[in-house]
Amino acid sequence: MTTQEQIKQLREELHRHNYLYYIEDKPEISDYDFDMKLKELQHLEEKNPEFEDPNSPTRRVGGAITKNFNTVVHDYRMYSLSNSYSKEELEDWENRIEKSVGGKLQYVCELKYDGASISLTYKNGKLQRAVTRGDGFQGDDVTNNIKTIRSVPLKLKGDFPEKFDIRGEIVLPYEGFAKMNAERVEAGEEPYANPRNTASGSLKLQDSAEVAKRPLECLLYSLVADNLPVKSQFEGLEKAREWGFKVPPEAELKNSIAEVLDYVNYWDQHRHDLPYETDGVVIKVNSFDQQDELGYTAKSPRWAIAYKFKAEQESTKLNKITYQVGRTGAITPVANLDPVQLAGTTVKRASLHNADQIEKLDVREGDTVFVEKGGEIIPKIVGVDFTQRDPETLETKYAETCPECDSELIRKEGEAQHYCPNYNGCPPQIIGRIQHFISRKAMDIEGLGGETVALLVNANLITNYADLYTLKKEDVLPLERMAEKSAENLVSGIEKSKEIPFERVLFALGIRYVGETVAKKLAKHYKNIDALASASTEDLTAVDEIGERIAQSVTDFFTSEENRELIQRLKDYGLQFEIIAEELENQSTILDGNTFVISGVFEKVSRNELKKMIEDNGGKVSGSISGKTDYLVAGENMGPSKLAKAEKVGTKIISENEFLQMLS
């Protein structure tokens, strides 16, 4: 097989596996094998730039930077939808259009996905361009970013027309959104407000590699072209599915608005079971001929209408705005409300996010406000009922000092949040830091919970996490609800935490922006705390995936004399501040400078273990064979093409046993 054929074959395979995974949800190969194939293709493409393809599966990982997004005129205008909010409005619509067409109509009901609209152009089965809606006439070319979304097919299958546009919505499913936010919170950053804004903000990021990291999805709902091979909306959805698009299965064909209403009521009840946000139902006349007959108003098609679900919104009185201090010192303004029932729960408090938000909404104490519960867990204030405003109320003046320690608040340029700078003296920061230190993913101290930490701090028994290691049973016994047995457990739990490995100790220290993953990376790279503490920001940014911001935060942390003292104390108590010997034991430099390719199935170790063994001993693992490959570790059922290639370029072929011998 020529290189060109090999590249072509890999691309087809990867397109197919991508489809099986992201559209059909029925993968046939492991993630590892997928990654290996992708790496192999990346490698071949790098070596053979003449076979470049803008729609190669390698484009999914991103990398292309868009400085300015070009404006593109849509070939077909992207219309708005007119809205309806009641049964009566829908019935009126039915009467109106059935009269105008002169007969009964069939309708397609679809969910109204709440994200950012997108128009994709395909030519000869390849994605050519992706454009945002913009003003409906023209939008921004965001093709590089859209290519990273796995559910957008880069290449189609089946009997697609030569050229067409397809419209859909880019959404961020709840699960991925929650995960992104959990990571941000863990790293001490402000969480994103809601999935819709995060999805639409993602489309305009300059670095497509950043977009690739976000778990976005593209849901399609409409084909547009001059000569479509279908005669109705419903057939169009089915065809789009066949060509490889993600078209949600909830769409249904209905014979009357009475039937449509059943659908609407069903989804109004069940929409929270869906993986992504929806804000209503879109009802479309099924037949394209009848759509043409009905035509458009200045803004929207006459043949379609959106039915908006009632937002889960209530109004209530805002009694007081208070301020909460997080463990990093970040201040969150909180609205304290007259209790109100919202989506099945009683709400007494809601977030106001930050000073800008308060100013934007002009929220004041004493106002009647609208509270809404979207996809997020914490309800938020979305507006003020100005008709109810007492003219005596005063504009809200944002807190200037910390509610807990009275320090003057600071706000760094370009940041939305205010901070309390009193790192060592502000109780919620002290307590929050110790609570973080003992938490499950950090030191995981058995027998000690967040509330006990607060009691310990308030009783002046501890003022930082190092103090935990001085606690004796007699010290804690006088605390509220502390029995003999629980005091013993607490002390022994603290003792046991001295075995927690370095990477988790590092995470536990609570350095801003150093979450679990970053802590692992740093521990692995620097191997011990002294090496990390003496690293400069330049050293740090040279580490894979460590950016300016993290690097600065790490060096700031270690510049502080107080932090250095704390760490010295923790060291003296016997905590782990280097990668433990056991982990290093299986590491060596025996394979330094050698590149390996792994192929086939192995008996004694898995492919992943094999890969780790090579890397732990200084070797490199590559996805495909080239002149630079030193060894091919060959297992059962190895592909014949790899074998032939290895023989051709003179790579040494070794068995699993021979490899293991190299290490012993």
Q: How far is the CB of 375 from ligand AMP (least distance, A)?
A: 15
- The four Cα atoms 491, 495, 500, 503 give a dihedral, to 10 degrees, of 80
List the catalytic residue out of 8, 104, 112, 496.
112
Q: Which residue lies nearer to ligand AMP by CB, 251 or 321?
A: 251
Q: Which residue lies nearer to ligand AMP by CB, 80 or 128?
A: 80
Residues making up the binding site: 31-35, 80-81, 110, 133, 169, 284, 308, 402, 405, 420, 426
Q: How far is the CB of 182 from ligand AMP (least distance, A)?
A: 27
Please pick, from the candidates 131, 149, 187, 282, the single residue that binds ligand AMP as defined by CB under 6 A.
Answer: 282
The answer to whether 164 contacts ligand AMP (rule: CB under 6 A) is no
Q: Which residue lies nearer to ligand AMP by CB, 170 or 487?
A: 170
Please pick, from the candidates 402, 543, 621, 634, the single residue that binds Zn ion as defined by CB under 5 A.
Answer: 402
Backbone region of residue 33 per phi and psi (left: phi > 0; alpha: psi in -120 to 50; beta: other values): alpha
User: Per this entry, what is the length of the chain?
Assistant: 664
Site mask for Zn ion (CB under 5 A), range 555-594, x = bound: ----------------------------------------
CA distance 61 to 40: 14
Query: What is the maximum span of the chain, computed from C-alpha positions, in angstroms?
Result: 89
Contact 235, 242 (CB under 8 A): no
Contact 492, 499 (CB under 8 A): no
144 C-beta neighbours (distance < 10 Å), count? 22
The answer to whether 80 contacts ligand AMP (rule: CB under 6 A) is yes
Among Zn ion, ligand AMP, none, what binds residue 420 when CB lies within 5 to 8 Å by partner kind? Zn ion
Helical axes 607-616 vs 656-663, angle rounded to 10°: 30
Element housing 355 (H / E):
helix 355-361
Among ligand AMP, Zn ion, none, what binds residue 426 when CB lies within 5 to 8 Å by partner kind? Zn ion
Among Zn ion, ligand AMP, none, what binds residue 382 when CB lies within 5 to 8 Å by partner kind? none
CA distance 643 to 650: 10
Among ligand AMP, Zn ion, none, what binds residue 81 when CB lies within 5 to 8 Å by partner kind? ligand AMP
Q: Which residue lies nearer to ligand AMP by CB, 66 or 222?
A: 222
Contact 632, 622 (CB under 8 A): no
Ordered alpha helix ranges (H), 50-193: 87-101, 143-146, 174-186
Q: Which stretch binds ligand AMP (CB under 6 A): 111-119, 351-359, 565-573, 649-657?
A: 111-119
Please pick, from the candidates 233, 422, 553, 624, the single residue that binds Zn ion as defined by CB under 5 A.
Answer: 422
Q: Which residue lies nearer to ligand AMP by CB, 257 or 445?
A: 257
The CA-atom distances, in angstroms, between 415 and each of 177, 331, 356, 517 are: 22, 12, 10, 24
Tell me which residue of 78, 81, 80, 158 sits closest to 121, measured CA to CA. Answer: 78
- Residue labelled with tokens 């608040």: 409
The answer to whether 113 contacts ligand AMP (rule: CB under 6 A) is yes
CA distance 494 to 510: 18
Q: Which stretch binds ligand AMP (CB under 6 A): 109-117, 147-155, 431-439, 445-453?
A: 109-117
Residues making up the binding site for Zn(2+): 402, 405, 420, 426
Please pick, from the candidates 120, 420, 431, 610, the single residue that binds Zn ion as defined by CB under 5 A.
Answer: 420
Q: How far is the CB of 222 from ligand AMP (least distance, A)?
A: 6
Among ligand AMP, Zn ion, none, what binds residue 110 when CB lies within 5 to 8 Å by partner kind? ligand AMP
Contact 217, 201 (CB under 8 A): no
Q: Which stretch binds ligand AMP (CB under 6 A): 84-92, 112-120, 415-423, 614-622?
A: 112-120
The answer to whether 409 contacts Zn ion (rule: CB under 5 A) is no
Q: Which residue lies nearer to ligand AMP by CB, 221 or 303?
A: 221
The CA-atom distances, in angstroms, between 592 and each of 90, 619, 629 are: 72, 5, 13
Please pick, from the candidates 110, 186, 376, 578, the single residue that binds ligand AMP as defined by CB under 6 A.
Answer: 110
CA distance 308 to 97: 20
Our measurement of the distance from residue 623's CA atom to the centroid of its chain's CA atoms, rounded to an integer in Å, reads 27
Q: Which residue lies nearer to Zn ion by CB, 203 or 402?
A: 402
The CA-atom distances, in angstroms, between 126 and each of 53, 161, 164, 520 are: 11, 11, 10, 40
Phi and psi, residue 240, nearest 5°:
-60, -40
Tell me which residue of 91, 98, 158, 95 sits closest to 122, measured CA to CA. Answer: 158
Catalytic residue check, 520: no
Site mask for ligand AMP (CB under 6 A), range 199-238, x = bound: ----------------------x-----------------
Please pick, from the candidates 59, 133, 436, 642, the single residue that binds ligand AMP as defined by CB under 6 A.
Answer: 133
The answer to whether 117 contacts ligand AMP (rule: CB under 6 A) is yes
Q: Which residue lies nearer to ligand AMP by CB, 117 or 452?
A: 117
Contact 211, 62 (CB under 8 A): yes
Please pick, from the candidates 37, 112, 271, 353, the single residue that binds ligand AMP as defined by CB under 6 A.
Answer: 112
The answer to whether 654 contacts Zn ion (rule: CB under 5 A) is no
Among Zn ion, ligand AMP, none, what binds residue 221 when CB lies within 5 to 8 Å by partner kind? ligand AMP
Tell me which residue of 1, 17, 3, 2 sits closest to 45, measured CA to CA. Answer: 3
Contact 156, 223 (CB under 8 A): no
| Encoded tokens for 276 | 């992504």
Please pick, from the candidates 371, 426, 443, 621, the single residue that binds Zn ion as defined by CB under 5 A.
Answer: 426
Q: Which stretch binds Zn ion (CB under 5 A): 48-56, 156-164, 402-410, 501-509?
A: 402-410
CA distance 300 to 93: 14
DSSP state of 399: P
Dihedral sign for Cα atoms in the order 524, 525, 527, 529: negative
Q: Which residue lies nearer to ligand AMP by CB, 171 or 384?
A: 171
Q: Which residue lies nearer to ligand AMP by CB, 81 or 509?
A: 81
Tell me which residue of 464, 489, 480 sits closest to 570, measured CA to CA. Answer: 464
Site mask for ligand AMP (CB under 6 A), range 303-342, x = bound: ---x------------------------------------
Residues making up the binding site for NAD(+): 31-35, 80-81, 110, 133, 169, 284, 308
Tell me which residue of 26, 275, 21, 287 sits closest to 173, measured CA to CA. Answer: 275
Q: Strands of 252-254's sheet, edge to edge?
A: 83-84, 304-308, 278-285, 107-113, 252-254
The answer to whether 264 contacts ligand AMP (rule: CB under 6 A) is no
Residues in contact with Zn ion by the rule CB under 5 A: 402, 404-405, 407, 420, 422, 426
Residues in contact with ligand AMP by the rule CB under 6 A: 80-81, 110, 112-113, 117, 133, 169, 221, 282, 306
- Residues designated catalytic: 112
